[in-house]
Amino acid sequence: MSKVAGLKFKMKPEKKEAPAANARKGPDIRLPHLKLWIGGKWKEAVHGRTFKTIDPATGEVITRVAEGTEEDIDLAARRARKAFDSGPWPKMKASERARILHRIAALIRENYEELASLETLDTGKPIQNSRRIDVPSSAEAFEYYAGWCDKLTGETLPAHPEFFSYTLREPLGVIGAITPWNFPLSIAAQKIAPALAAGNTVVLKPAEQTPLSALRLAEITEEAGLPAGVLNVVPGFGPVAGAALVRHPEVDAVSFTGEYLTGREIMKNAALTLKKLSFELGGKSANIIFADADMDNAARFACDGIFFNQGEVCCAGSRLFVEEKIKKNFTARLLQCAQKWRPGDPFDPATEMGALVSQEQFDKVLKYIEIGRQEGAKLLLDGRNPKMPQGKAPGTKSKGFFIGPTVFSGVLPQMRLAQEEIFGPVLSQIAFGDFEEVIRNANQTIYGLAAAVWTKDIQKAHRAARALKAGTVWINGYGNFDHAVPFGGYKMSGNTREGGIHTFDFYTQIKSVWVRL
């Protein structure tokens, strides 16, 4: 029996499925169902195809997962439509919806070790991060948005004396959620929880690199009593399953987190049905260190900002602007901190930096290190071929996708190194002379996701916060996140906000009603 918000419910007996033959030795990881979750049933893909998911720490196949294509997406979208049009979910008492979301959160917490292991196995991220960040943040998403279920209200409007005018805040219908591989579970939760809270139904297409935790989440939602068809999970490839979801006429809106180039494709495909779109795209976030900053903290967080999650973070502080007069001193501290970030076996609890998600991502990061050298930036710390702690990461020497902390200095704001999103542990240090110069250069990018400012001067800090074209500005900190606080991009980093009430600008629509008196 579990206790959630004063409510007791019975756990269903665990449905065990034999782990795949190639499951990684070491931690005992139960794999979830590996099929498509559609209309409350586990289904083989229509074409019977499967695809591999790889362990980034060894380069070996973990298992194979059913590969959804257009036909599977069609089925999922139609089931989600049916669940929306004639199922209980949108009409359910709001507090009852909240109770189910709380149950999902509670089950995430109960199964947190298992979810953390799955996430680490599939992404290569350190187990400590999965335990401390990914899994708790996923539970928090359901808890936080459960609180909104019965607080989404309309308004009464003083329009005309002979009419009573009011608004209803209604769900959109079927939401297509397309998620990336860097925080597979928590980004899925960040989209599913508010969508469900508002009474929508969902088809989730997880990233092909990391489908496992989304499948486990589907199992959890069933156990929590989410009605059939309200959440559907269809793993598959972006240009096939993802694109089919975007084009599908029964899907009302698409919430996407990923690269801006993919966002562009999605926007083109969505034009056919004029879908509402929520984009959280890439970034090249500026972390600005003024001469009066607390240098030790600034150096520590500069490393955190770019090496956390192997740099595979959309708001990574990849451009480090350092005021010229402290450059020498600061760089020494920075390097000292950076050297402490050593890649290791993701399942070792002491590891702070794991493997990059895939061969493709590994090659991309190596390519950018080479580009930086060719552009004339100075490679102060080279993360290529990192030394792995002896005996800690079996197989990693030959095949794991490990790159250690990499620091360039002497980077110019126009270099590709400073303009293009690398999505890896590569920091570009850019020197600046004064306030105006750094703000100008910080804003000179197509992105505008986040920025940080380090200074003890409160006026300078707030002036910078206003002047920076970014959806989030941290002052004397980096990377804080909470579901209560809006997160999203300016410019080509995005078009909506996830977090807080603003989330529902996307997941709901307003109906105006005029009543003649």
Give the active site residues.
280, 314
Where does this chain bind ligand ADP (CB under 6 A)?
178-181, 205, 207-208, 237-239, 242-243, 246, 258-259, 262, 265-266
- Work out the angle at residue 433's Cα, subtended by the Cα atoms of residues 430 and 437, and round it to the nearest 5 degrees: 80
Closest CA to 455 of 289, 300, 304, 320: 289
Closest CA to 374 of 341, 417, 334: 417
Q: Least CB distance from residue 247 to ligand ADP, whole Å?
A: 9
Is the CB of residue 115 less than 8 Å from the CB of residue 135? yes
- Work out the angle at residue 286's Cα, subtended by the Cα atoms of residues 284 and 288, and round it to the nearest 5 degrees: 165
Q: Given the complex with ligand ADP, which of 50 and 165 has the nearer CB atom?
A: 50
Q: Least CB distance from residue 447 to ligand ADP, whole Å?
A: 14
Question: Would you state the torsion angle of the CA atoms of residues 358, 360, 363, 367, taken in this order, to the nearest 10 degrees?
Answer: -130
Q: Given the complex with ligand ADP, which of 413 and 425 has the nearer CB atom?
A: 425
> Residue of minimal CB distance from ligand ADP?
238
Buried b (16+ CB within 10 A) or exposed e, 275-284: bbbbbbbbbb
Rounded to the nearest 5°, which phi and psi values hold at 8?
-100, 140
Q: Given the complex with ligand ADP, which of 234 and 418 has the nearer CB atom?
A: 234
Q: Is 2 helix (H, G, I), strand (E, B) or coil?
A: strand
Q: Given the complex with ligand ADP, which of 108 and 281 has the nearer CB atom?
A: 281
Residue 276, strand partner residues: 253
DSSP 8-state assignment for residue 20: P
Q: Given the complex with ligand ADP, which of 72 and 143 has the nearer CB atom?
A: 72
The amino acid present at 34, given as its one-letter code, is L
Q: Least CB distance from residue 251 to ligand ADP, whole Å?
A: 12
Q: Least CB distance from residue 214 to ligand ADP, whole Å?
A: 10
Structure-token pair, residue 377: 């930036």
Q: Least CB distance from residue 73 to ligand ADP, whole Å?
A: 10
Q: Least CB distance from residue 258 to ligand ADP, whole Å?
A: 3
Q: Given the complex with ligand ADP, which of 424 and 448 has the nearer CB atom?
A: 424
Rounded to the nearest 5°, which phi and psi values hold at 322?
-120, 130
Q: Is 379 helix (H, G, I), strand (E, B) or coil?
A: strand
Q: Least CB distance from residue 380 to ligand ADP, whole Å?
A: 27
Is the CB of residue 13 less than 8 Å from the CB of residue 33? no
Closest CA to 306 of 99, 501, 479: 479
Q: Given the complex with ligand ADP, which of 190 and 409 has the nearer CB atom?
A: 190
Question: Would you state the torsion angle of the CA atoms of residues 389, 393, 395, 399, taken in this order, to the nearest 10 degrees?
Answer: -80
Closest CA to 412 of 381, 447, 376: 376
Burial class from Cβ neighbours inside 10 Å (0-12, 13-18, 19+) for residue 20 reads middle
Q: Least CB distance from residue 69 to ligand ADP, whole Å?
A: 13
Q: Given the complex with ligand ADP, which of 243 and 415 has the nearer CB atom?
A: 243
Q: Is 486 helix (H, G, I), strand (E, B) or coil?
A: coil
Give the residue carrying structure tokens 């499925």: 17
Closest CA to 214 of 32, 482, 74, 16: 32
Q: Given the complex with ligand ADP, which of 260 and 506 has the nearer CB atom?
A: 260
The amino acid present at 158, given as its one-letter code, is P
List of residues 6+ apart from 443 with CB closer than 8 A? 467, 468, 469
Q: Least CB distance from residue 206 to ligand ADP, whole Å?
A: 6
